[in-house]
């Protein structure tokens, strides 16, 4: 028998993440962990460094050709990231 104030585990975890302000950091870590699925393994293998700071995704790519192609689809990458997280995690992508 459930009480009126019972919550599902999912709701409890989401509430805890909001209370302790962990949701943004969790989403940022998720973006970095899922980078190969986002851009493909061939691009991920050429990625030397990736991090997020102030809603800006910084990506160091070793190939100038791949870097140029990613610049052309920059808006799509941002949209994909934010759709996956269901909130604005990244506002800008900077290729180094």
- 10 Å Cβ neighbour count for 12? 11
Number of domains in the chain: 1
Answer yes or no: are the C-beta atoms of 35 and 47 closer than 8 Å. Answer: yes
32 found inside a domain: yes
Give domain status of residue 1, yes or no: no
1 falls in which pLDDT band (50, 70, 90)?
Answer: low
Span 7-35, pLDDT tens digits: 888 888 888 888 877 888 989 999 999 99
Q: Judge whether 2 lies within some domain.
A: no
pLDDT of residue 76: 96
Asked, for residue 21, whether it belongs to a domain, the answer is yes
Q: Is residue 80 part of a domain?
A: yes
């Amino acid at each position: 028998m459930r009480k009126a104030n019972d919550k599902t585990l999912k709701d409890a975890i989401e509430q805890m993440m909001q209370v302790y302000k962990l949701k943004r950091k969790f989403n940022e870590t998720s973006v970095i962990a899922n980078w190969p699925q986002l851009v493909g393994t061939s691009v991920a293998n050429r990625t030397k460094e990736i991090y997020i700071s102030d809603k800006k995704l910084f990506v160091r790519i070793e190939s100038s050709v791949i870097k140029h192609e990613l610049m052309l689809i920059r808006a799509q990458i941002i949209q994909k990231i934010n759709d996956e997280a269901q909130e604005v995690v990244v506002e800008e992508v900077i290729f180094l």
